Amino acid sequence: MMQTPVELKKPLAKRRMFPKVKISRALLNILLSIYGFVTLYPLIWLFLSAFKSNPEFYEFPFGLPKEWHWENFADAWNVARMGVSFKNSFIVTIAALILTLVFGAMAAFVLSRFRFRGRAAAMALFLLGMLIPIHSTLVPLFIMLKKIRLLDTYGALIFPYTAFELSLAIFVTIAYMSSIPKEMEEAALIDGTGYWGFFFRVMLPLSAPALSTVGILAFLRFWNDFAFALVFISKPALQTLPLSLSMFATGYMTDYRLTFAALSLAVIPTIVVYLVFQEQVMKGMVAGAVKG
């Protein structure tokens, strides 16, 4: 009895508010579009400037290029010797990626499937790795790499990258592997498949979503790393992309077309990966943000 008027009031109030809500929503979307454009602008400016000539860059910093100078990219590629740095970044990233995935998956398998003495200690140790600021290890790592003669080799990047990515890789994969039912393991063992057969044939394929998240995240981190490359690599022939870019940008400060073309070429791979794997990148980075 009492509820009828209340029920009536609600839709009425809502209908009256409706146009107002619609207008404010439209206004909000316009504001959001402006915000998005401003956020994206540095990147738009980068790509547009890469097509301009030097005088045009200086005189007309905004707006589209009058003539699209595609040759800027070829020139930048040659002058900045980007072939070499792309190759180095590729080798280091892929090698560290493989080590991270293999070692990480193996450790996650053991830690999620078996209960044993020392398990808690191992977990705590890997957790510590998530909390340590990377820069605080630069000095001792430099000295250590020098002592074991790894300094100025691919190994000087591959092993530290792997080590610092392992914590995250292990925790993300453990969370996933723990959700795989125990019965599958028993079934596999009864069928005569050993533990490693079970790992390779059942666990790895089933954990593919977690491993791909780990892999994409690791790719971006290794590909973009600057601090380790700066400290551990001094031979020009071994410089990775971010390192050689920073050197190039300092040396060719005033050759805007070359600098911007080189920067554009360097960001294209990461933007492609981002566009293809957006969801996983976002999810992974949020998980990885815990490590920072």
Partner 1 sequence: MTAKARIRGVIIVGLLPALLVFTFFVIVPILWSAWYGFYDWKGIGAMKFIGFGNYLEIIKDPVFATSLRNNLIVVAASVFGQVPIALALSLVLRQSTLFQRIIRSVVFLPMVLSSVVIGIIWGYIYHPQIGILNSLLEWIGLGSWKQAWLSNPDISMYMLAIPIIWNFIGPYMIMYIAALQNIPSEIEDASAIDGAKPMRMLFSIRLPMIWDTIKVTVVLCISGSLKTFDLIYVMTGGGPAHSTELLASYMYNNTFSIYRFGYGSAISTSIIIISTVLIAGSQLLMRRNTR
**Could you say which residues in the range 177-196 bind partner 1, by CB under 8 A?**
194-196
Q: Does 166 bind partner 1 (CB under 8 A)?
A: yes
List, as one string, the DSSP characters of 57-85. Answer: HHH--SS--SS--THHHHHHHHHTTHHHH
Q: How far is the CB of 245 from partner 1 (least distance, A)?
A: 5
Place of tokens 């200690």: 121
Q: 91 or 137: whose CB is closer to partner 1?
A: 137
Q: Is residue 292 within 8 Å of 132, Cβ to Cβ?
A: no
Is residue 159 involved in binding partner 1 (CB under 8 A)?
yes
- The pattern of x and - marking residues 194 through 213 that bind partner 1 according to CB under 8 A reads xxx--x--------------
Q: Where in 44-63 is the site for partner 1 (CB under 8 A)?
A: 45-46, 57-58, 61-62
Among 101, 174, 223, 239, binds partner 1 (CB under 8 A): 223
Q: Which residue has the tokens 């995240």?
A: 217
> Closest distance between partner 1 and the C-beta of residue 185, in Å?
12
* Residue pointed to by tokens 């992974």: 284
Cα–Cα distance between 117 and 169 in angstroms, integer? 22
Q: Calculate the dihedral angle through the C-alpha atoms of 65, 67, 68, 73, rounding to the nearest 10 degrees.
A: -100
Q: How far is the CB of 136 from partner 1 (least distance, A)?
A: 4
DSSP character string of 30-67: HHHHHHHHHHHHHHHHHHHHHTS-HHHHHH--SS--SS
Q: Which of 23, 132, 184, 276 binds partner 1 (CB under 8 A)?
A: 132
Q: How many residues bind partner 1 (CB under 8 A)?
A: 87
Among 72, 73, 88, 104, binds partner 1 (CB under 8 A): 104
Name the 3-class secondary structure at 178: coil
Task: Provide the minimum distance between the beta carbon of 1 and partner 1 in the complex, in angstroms, as a whole number.
Answer: 18
Answer for the pair 180, 203: CB distance below 8 angstroms, yes or no: yes
Q: Which two tokens stand for residue 12?
A: 């009425």
Closest distance of CB 148 from partner 1, Å: 9
CB nearer to partner 1: pick between 114 and 191: 114
User: Applying CB under 8 A, does 68 fall inside the site for partner 1?
Assistant: no
Q: Is 19 in the site for partner 1 (CB under 8 A)?
A: no
- At its nearest, how many Å lie between partner 1 and the CB of residue 232? 11
Nearest Cα to 50, choosing from 29, 70, 20, 32? 70
Q: Scanning residues 74 to 93, which ones bind partner 1 (CB under 8 A)?
A: none
Helix (H) or strand (E) holding 239: none
Under a CB-based contact definition with an 8 Å cutoff, are residues 88 and 238 in contact?
yes
Indicate the residue among 87 and 135 with the shorter CB distance to partner 1: 135
Among 80, 92, 101, 141, binds partner 1 (CB under 8 A): 141
We find the least distance from the C-beta atom of residue 224 to partner 1, in angstroms, to be 4
**Under rule CB under 8 A, residue 123 binds partner 1:** no
Token code pair at residue 163: 């080590």
